[in-house]
């Protein structure tokens, strides 16, 4: 194996390891976001402030959409900061 092909192989294996690590971090953070939604909806349903139908049809989708948008914006902000 020539030094150039060895360097290319090492670089590819490092990139693959970083990709798998990033996927694991994304999976954990997604689980945290789902847990926050479950706790929020469960607490609101348990409090009796609104009917369960209202919570599931109005509150749950808006919470999920807001968290997805905030998560995406946060990721893009982090990517932009890491490139500077």
**Residues 27, 31, 32, CA angle at the centre, nearest 5°?**
120
1, pLDDT greater than 80: no
CA dist list (Å): 2 to 6, 9, 10, 11, 13: 6, 11, 12, 14, 17
Per-residue pLDDT, averaged over 10-20, amounts to: 71
Distance CA 33, CA 71 (A): 9
Instruction: Give pTM, 2 decimals.
Output: 0.68
Range of the domain at 79: 3-83
The total number of structural domains in the chain stands at: 1
């Amino acid at each position: 194996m020539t030094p150039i092909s060895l360097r290319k192989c090492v670089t590819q294996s490092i990139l693959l390891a970083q990709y798998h690590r990033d996927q694991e971090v994304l999976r954990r953070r997604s689980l945290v976001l789902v847990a926050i939604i479950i706790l929020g909806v469960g607490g609101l349903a348990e409090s009796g402030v609104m009917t369960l139908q209202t919570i599931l049809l109005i509150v749950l989708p808006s919470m999920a959409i807001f968290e997805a948008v905030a998560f995406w914006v946060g990721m893009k902000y982090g990517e932009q900061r890491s490139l500077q």
